[in-house]
Amino acid sequence: MKRKIELSAKTSPKIKLLRKAFFALAVDPFLKGINIRSRASHLRSQLSIEIEKALYPLKPSKIHGQITDFDLYGGIDISNSIKEKELTKRTGIFGNPSQFIYLSMSERIGSSLAGKICLAIDKRQTSYVISLDEGLEDERTPYSILDRLAFAFDLNDERQLQRINLSKIRDNLPEIRSRLCKVRISENMKNQFSITALSLGITSLRAPIFALRTARALAAIRGKSFVSKNDFVMAIQLTLAHKATQIPRMQEPQKPEEEQEETNDTKNEENSDPSEINIPQEMIISAIESTLPKDVLGEIKLLSPKKDTLNSNASGSGQRKLGNRRGSPKPSRKMPFDTSKRLDLISTLRSAAPWQKLRRELHGSPDNSIIIYKDDLFVRQYEEKSDRLIIFTVDASGSNAIGRLGEAKGAIEYLLGEAYANRDHVSLIAFRGTKAEVLLPATRSLVQAKKKLADLPGGGGTPIASGLEKAVEISITARNKGLTPTIAIMTDGKANISLEGQVDRKQALSDSEKFCMIIQNLKIPAIVIDTSNRPQQPAKDLAHKANAKYIPMPRADAKKLSNAISKSSNEFHTNQ
Amino acid sequence: MRENFPFTAIVGQQEMKQALILAAIDPSIGGVLVLGDRGTGKSTIVRSLASLLPKIRAEENCPYNCPKINNQCDFCKKKKEGKVVQKTSPVVDLPLGSTEDRVVGSLDIEAALKNGEKNFEPGLLARANRGFLYIDEVNLLEDHIVDLLLDAAASGENLVEREGMSIRHQSKFVLIGSGNPEEGELRPQLLDRFGLSVEVKSPENIDERIEVVKRRDEYEVNPKKFLRIWLPEEKKLREKILLARKLVKTVTISDQILKKCAKLCVEIGADGLRGELTLLRTARAYAAFNGRKEVEENHLQEICLPALRHRLRKNPLDEAGSDVRISRAVAGILNS
């Protein structure tokens, strides 16, 4: 062990922590696993090898997004049974103690697979779960899985890996484990885990439990029978920092106005009184801060569970355009058959029929038998109509706000209600001042949309180009996920801020025209709602360039508006 | 198998625990819908039910948990002699993304391949008979599966027509669905069919949170000792439930109270008559749980939130909680 530490003098603190996490995992399997966020790179491939070595003799069993129930739960191998004329069974990944679960591309795991994995974790049908998140930007491992794993690391900025050698620990495992349940921990520390978790905005109660167990494991590894300050701090770094959704001590200004927090805050301070507790709050916070990435606030926003789950939900419901159960029927096709699919018997027979004579001779079967090969099987397919996504792009600039922002809000609210009835997804972008902001990524949660809308302030310049840019971005990602986007732009069309955020009417106009062309080229159905007092040319031009429908916002008639929007998006739907 | 965390040792979440107990006393109340954040102990509470609930007497090996050999299910039909044993009350987990096959049952492939027999292999609905069926993230479950489950829950039967089989078997269970409304809402048609609806939040009280972590830790470190400590509590509650189950059939409800139930439902504008029926049954179970022979007005008051919360005709964007509207209606009607 000593030699290793010398070697690792140059390695970054994060990699050292990663190693500790593996140590703790080896000692206490209850900690369940690690989520590692890393894009495909040399380091990642190295890491995979290291992990396999570290967890040996357990073997990795990969779970990917398209895995079947048969692979997960096992069962009777039908094709093999028929071939061997003997019942052959196969065990699934769950419930196999000699394997650990390796989730590759965990950011792509849909909600239903995530549900199965979570259930397996809860029922202790799995050993370790190592989840490799290769996501870009805001794609994340489903929150339900993250919540059930003790550790998470983002290795995108790391260059050098350190060997994770667990042999020392493995050799002494019985001894360390026997020590583990005797490790003592002070009451204050125990409480502090819960307090810290709450001050970091972690509502789930799994996190502080993981922290407590990690602290014990770390102490046991050091051969001690009590948890030291160091163990305590490291446990917090390992288990709580990555789940944080807010930064402690910065609470006051950015806290939402919820009364119950106040009581917590006061308690928090009482408890963090140094005379009462042997670990100063500063120390904990600085420990956490050191493990947080540089772009703390940005990261934290991404980490907040709400947004994350929304994403996973959206991908889950839109991705699967070709179902095999629901929707309108499509021609069936040859494909590997399993029990989750429906066999198209007629097509199967039809494809097997021409070969019957040959096959009978080949197998020496009687004339009245029908011999069907695996390749003959046709599977029924259904096409689900993909969900619609309405991207509201709202002009909240001064020119607009004074006039009719309130009315626009009312109209959107009405449209949201419609969207709810149609099970549409909605997204909300507002542009004002120098740039646009995505207030709400694609979601079905209307309560959130409503909240965001109500909080939307008005005033400032009119950066239409920036708003359109965001709308196009969302449309493209939505299409990739199988949704059908429609952009609804509510503006008076008087662009005066360029894409760069400069006050330059000319540039602003040409920038916004550029994006109109993109919208036209991508054939994204769009609609421009003129919110100026009287129908005016700029908005009309905008609509024309984007090949969008133009509607002057009717006075206090949200219903008309909604009809117009659904009509324009439906037209596109059928045209395509 | 390791024992579940004791039901009585769970800190807080009073409303959810009470709803589950009432549903256990009178399964005809219908399912329980639990809405709330993750990591608030929903799953723990549901799973701990298995050890809390009184054991059921059932035929050994019978996949349908028949109380004794009868000619009801196709397993018992084949058997001549039975052996009735004590089984823990079934609490079955239904994972998200389950296929229809796994839920309702399907052709027994093993028998088909081995002996060429066309047998039925019971699914989760059979296993849950006489117990509880738990679905985490019910709001993300495919609509046709939810529909199927609610049908079975309401009729107490599972009817399978597939792969050349036509099978009907008993499937009486209490459906428990949980979910986070922020991830997607449940259709109102489905909402209405759950008997009770409770909302859970992660405890915000720091002492409560600390207590949760401490108890969990005690349990993990030495489960046997922890269970021993909580055994008397568990036993006490179990006996209370058993007693209430006997009592509930005899609890009376006056016309006056019934009238108030109806008034309440009209006032909040609940569709259909499910609201009244649930109020009636739940109030009865609550009275029985408290050892009363007649439903009193305060019983009604106690249970009207979970029984009615999800039945309001609600503008999806209306944030003013349904709780407020119900409380207002209750205040107006019950105390008049």
- Examine the fold and report which residue of B170, B200, B230 is the final residue of a domain before the chain moves on: B200
For chains A and B, count residue pairs whose Cβ atoms are closer than 8 Å. Answer: 156
Decide: A267 and A281 in contact? Cβ < 8 Å: no
pLDDT at B283: 93
CA distance B27 to chain A (A): 25
- Residues A209 and A154 grouped into a single domain: no
| Contact call for B39 and A204, based on CB within 8 A | yes
Q: How far apart are CA B262 and CA A571, in angstroms?
A: 47
Give me the CATH number covering residue B123: 3.40.50.300
Q: Among A235, A268, A291, give the residue marking a domain's end.
A: A291
Could you list the residue range(s) of the whole structural domain that residue A226 is in? 172-244+248-291
Question: Looking at the structure, do residues A432 and A545 belong to the same domain, yes or no?
Answer: yes
pLDDT of residue A137: 63
What is the residue-averaged pLDDT of chain A?
75
Q: In chain B, whose CA is at the least distance from the CA of A119? A: B95
Please list every residue in chain B whose beta carbon sits closer than 8 Å to the beta carbon of residue A145: none
Structure-token match 């009245």, residue found? A368
User: At residue A341, does pLDDT exceed 60?
Assistant: yes
The last residue of one of the domains, among B167, B200, B233, is: B200
Amino acid (one-letter) located at A350: R
* Contact (CB<8Å) B183/A420: no
**B201 pLDDT higher than 80:** yes
Last residue of a domain, one of A118, A139, A171: A171
Best-predicted range by mean pLDDT (A87-96, A229-238, A382-391): A229-238
Asked if residue A72 and residue A46 are part of one domain, the reply reads: yes
pLDDT tier for residue A330 given thresholds of 50, 70 and 90: low
Q: Please check whether residues B34 and B126 belong to one and the same domain.
A: yes
The chain A residue lying nearest B222, using CA atoms, is A181
Domain presence at residue A40: yes
A324 has pLDDT over 50: no
Q: Does the pLDDT value for residue B19 go beyond 90?
A: yes
Structural contact between residues A497 and A468, judged by C-beta atoms closer than 8 angstroms: no
Q: Check residue A316 and give its pLDDT.
A: 32
Mean pLDDT of chain B: 83
Confidence of residue B290 (pLDDT cuts 50, 70, 90): very high
Which pLDDT tens digit goes with each residue over B88-108?
888 898 877 677 778 888 877
Q: How confident is the model at residue A304 (pLDDT cuts 50, 70, 90)?
A: very low
Cα of B40 to nearest chain A Cα, Å: 6
Which residues from chain A sit within 8 angstroms of residue B144, using beta carbons?
Answer: 325-326
Domain shared by A63 and A96, yes or no: yes
For this structure, is B274 an active site residue?
Answer: yes
> Which of B183, B203, B317 shows the shortest C-beta gap to A309?
B183
Mean per-residue pLDDT for B165-189?
A: 80
**pLDDT for position A260:** 37
- The verdict on B323 and B192 lying in the same domain is no
Nearest beta carbon to residue A115 from set B97, B101, B217: B97
What pLDDT score does B320 carry? 55
Residue A166 sits in a domain of what CATH number?
A: 3.40.50.300
Answer yes or no: do B114 and A194 touch at CB < 8 A: no
Catalytic residue of the set B162, B238, B274, B292: B274
The per-residue pLDDT for A273 is: 36
- pLDDT (tens digit per residue) in A404-420: 677 777 777 777 777 77
- Is residue A296 in a domain? no
CA distances from B142 to A325, A339, A442, B198 (A): 11, 18, 20, 22
How many percent of chain A have pLDDT more than 90?
A: 2
Let me know: does A205 contact B12? Beta carbons within 8 Å.
no
Give CA–CA dist A436/A546, Å, rounded. 19
d(CA A249, CA A303): 18
Neighbours of B302 (CB within 10 A): 17
- pLDDT, position A255: 35
What are the b/e assignments for B86-113, b being 16+ CB within 10 Å? ebbbbbbbbbbbbbbbbbbbbbbbbebb
Poorest-pLDDT segment among A269-283, A466-480, A532-546, B300-314: A269-283
Reported as a single tens digit per residue, the pLDDT across A15-65 is 888 888 988 988 888 888 999 888 878 888 888 888 888 887 888 888 887
Pair (A186, A328) in one structural domain: no
* Chain B residues near residue A263 by CB distance under 8 angstroms: 205
Asked if B183 lies within 8 A of A198 by C-beta distance, the reply is no
**B71 lies in some domain:** no
CB contact under 8 A, A205 and B216: yes
- Among the ranges given (A45-49, B273-277, B316-320), the one the predictor scored with the smallest mean pLDDT: B316-320
Same domain, B186 and B323: no
Residue B332 confidence class, pLDDT cut points 50, 70, 90: confident
Same domain, A62 and A188: no
Q: Select from A310, A121, A152, A313 the least CA-distant residue to A244.
A: A152
Whether residue B147 sits in one domain with residue B47 = yes
At A428-467, the pLDDT tens digits run 888 888 888 888 887 777 777 777 777 777 778 888 888 8
For residue B285, pLDDT over 90 is answered with yes
Give a yes or no: residue A303 inside a domain: no
A544: pLDDT strictly greater than 50? yes
The yes-or-no verdict on residue B236 having pLDDT over 90 is: yes
Q: Are residues B258 and B191 in the same domain?
A: no
Number of domains within chain B: 2
- What is the CATH classification number for the domain harbouring B298? 1.10.8.80
Looking at residue A140, its pLDDT comes to: 79
B161 and B256 fall within a common domain? no
Residue A306 has pLDDT above 50, yes or no: no
Q: What is the mean pLDDT of residues A526-553?
A: 81
Based on the fold, state whether residues A413 and A374 are members of the same structural domain. Answer: no
pLDDT surpasses 80 at B297: yes
Nearest CB to B216: which of A181, A197, A209?
Answer: A209
Q: What is the DSSP string of A440-467?
A: EEEES-HHHHHHHHHH----S---HHHH
Measure B335 CA to nearest chain A CA, in Å: 30
What was the ipTM of the complex prediction? Answer: 0.77
Does residue A62 fall inside a structural domain? yes
In chain A, what residues touch B184 (CB-CB under 8 Å)?
313, 317, 444-445
Taking CA atoms, what residue in A is nearest to B144? A326
Region A383-401 average pLDDT: 76
Strands B84-87 and B91-94: unpaired
Residue A44 and residue A121 in one domain: yes
Assess whether A375 and A403 both reside in one domain.
no
Residues A491 and A429 in one domain: yes
Of A193, A209, A447, the CB nearest to B319: A447
CB contact under 8 A, A340 and B99: yes
Whether residues B180 and B326 fall in one domain: no
| Whether residue B192 is found in the same domain as residue B116 | yes
Q: What is the predicted pLDDT for the residue at B33?
A: 92
* CATH code of A559's domain: 3.40.50.410
Contact check, Cβ <8 Å, A444/B185: yes
Looking at A360, A383, A406, the residue that finishes a domain is: A383
pLDDT at position A302 is 39
The whole-number average pLDDT for the span B328-332 is 81
Do B169 and B287 lie in a common domain?
A: no
Q: Say yes or no: A166 and A176 in one domain.
A: no
B58 inside domain: no
Predicted confidence (pLDDT) at residue B147 exceeds the cutoff of 90:
no
Q: How many folded domains does chain A comprise? A: 4
Q: Which one of A94, A146, A182, A194 makes the best mutation probe of the B interface by having the most chain B beta carbons within 10 Å?
A: A194
The two three-digit tokens of residue A376, written as one number: 């003959």
- The predicted pLDDT at position B233 comes to 92
- In terms of pLDDT, which residue wins out, A192 or B68? A192
Average confidence (pLDDT) over B30-42: 84
Q: Domain range holding B313?
A: 249-334
**A211 and A355 inside one domain:** no
Please give the Cα distance from A556 to A538 (Å, whole number).
22
Q: Let me know if residue A7 belongs to a domain.
A: yes
pLDDT surpassing 90 at residue B21: yes
Q: What is the mean pLDDT of residues A146-167?
A: 81
Q: What average pLDDT does range A145-149 have in this prediction?
A: 89
User: Average pLDDT in the A423-428 region?
Assistant: 82
